[in-house]
């Protein structure tokens, strides 16, 4: 059985994340998908989180409720507050992963910045790298990072958590952009409103 590791801020999880998760399970039959919400973001990538760890995990649980072979790992959230490096995440997951190489699933934007990741070569030695393509980004044929595309066209290409947060801040609907259960959770907890 193949293990697929799919990490991200999931702030909030949206329809694109759910689609990618389902496609990974479909295309890599007999797989387990482990969703890994980011802990304290690496300061080198100028990213901050809006929702709490507990809220992000709760939204992931709602978005993937009833989907077999999906787990949510809090390995990055349990670390003492320090920047989150994926090489440490792999080490924390190693007992769960067994002997085979897991698949690490990235967005194409993350793939292009992958050589800037802390100890990226150590990560490459331990995983099969797959990516989700983005329109307007062209993975260089000369890129020395071996990776496979999960699929050719991403129907949720222009959807991002930033877009959803911005819409919510403006009081606009996010119907269809996030699972209905996640939209209800966001509204019920007043997330992303006054940022």
Q: pLDDT at residue 143 above 80?
A: no
User: Mean per-residue pLDDT for 163-183?
Assistant: 97
Nearest to 31 by CA among 87, 77, 93, 97: 97
Q: pLDDT at residue 15 above 90?
A: yes
Q: Taking a C-beta distance cutoff of 8 angstroms, is the pair 83, 117 a contact?
A: no
Q: Bridge-partner residues for 22, per DSSP?
A: none
List, in order, residues 6 or more apart from 176 with CB less than 8 Å away.
15
Q: pLDDT at residue 142 above 70?
A: no
* Domains of the chain from N-terminus onward: 2-189 (3.40.50.620)
User: Mean per-residue pLDDT for 123-150?
Assistant: 82
3-state secondary structure of 169: helix
User: Mean per-residue pLDDT for 149-171?
Assistant: 94
According to the model, what pLDDT value does residue 77 have? 94
Q: pLDDT at residue 83 above 90?
A: no
CA pair distance 25, 22, nearest whole angstrom? 5
What confidence category does residue 138 fall into, taking pLDDT thresholds of 50, 70 and 90? Answer: low
Helix, strand, coil % (nearest 5) of the chain?
Answer: 40, 15, 45
Question: Is cis: bond before 12, omega within 30 of 0?
Answer: yes
CA pair distance 20, 31, nearest whole angstrom? 14
pLDDT in tens, 48-80: 899 999 999 999 999 999 999 999 999 999 987
DSSP string, 87-132: HHHHHHHHHHH-SSPPEEEEEHHHHHHGGGSTTHHHHHHH-EEEEE
According to the model, what pLDDT value does residue 7 have? 95
Average pLDDT, the chain: 91
Largest CA distance in the chain: 48
Q: pLDDT at residue 27 above 90?
A: yes
Q: Bridge-partner residues for 106, per DSSP?
A: 131
């Amino acid at each position: 059985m193949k293990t697929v590791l799919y990490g991200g801020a999931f702030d909030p999880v949206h329809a694109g994340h759910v689609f990618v998760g389902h496609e990974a399970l479909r295309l890599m039959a007999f797989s387990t998908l482990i969703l890994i919400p980011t802990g304290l973001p690496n300061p080198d990538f100028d990213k901050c989180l809006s929702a709490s760890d507990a809220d992000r995990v709760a939204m992931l649980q709602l978005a993937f409720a009833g989907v077999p072979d999906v787990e949510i790992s809090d390995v990055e959230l349990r670390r003492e507050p320090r920047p989150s490096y994926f090489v440490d995440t792999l080490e924390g997951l190693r007992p769960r992963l067994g002997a085979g190489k897991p698949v690490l699933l990235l967005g194409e934007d993350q793939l292009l910045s992958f050589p800037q990741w802390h100890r990226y070569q150590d990560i490459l030695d331990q995983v099969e790298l797959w990516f989700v393509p983005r329109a307007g980004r062209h993975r260089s044929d000369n890129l020395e990072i071996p990776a496979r595309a999960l699929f050719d066209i991403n129907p949720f290409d222009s959807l991002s958590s930033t877009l959803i947060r911005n819409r919510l801040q403006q009081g606009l609907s996010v119907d269809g952009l996030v699972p209905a259960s996640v939209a209800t959770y966001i509204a019920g907890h007043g997330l992303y409103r006054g940022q």
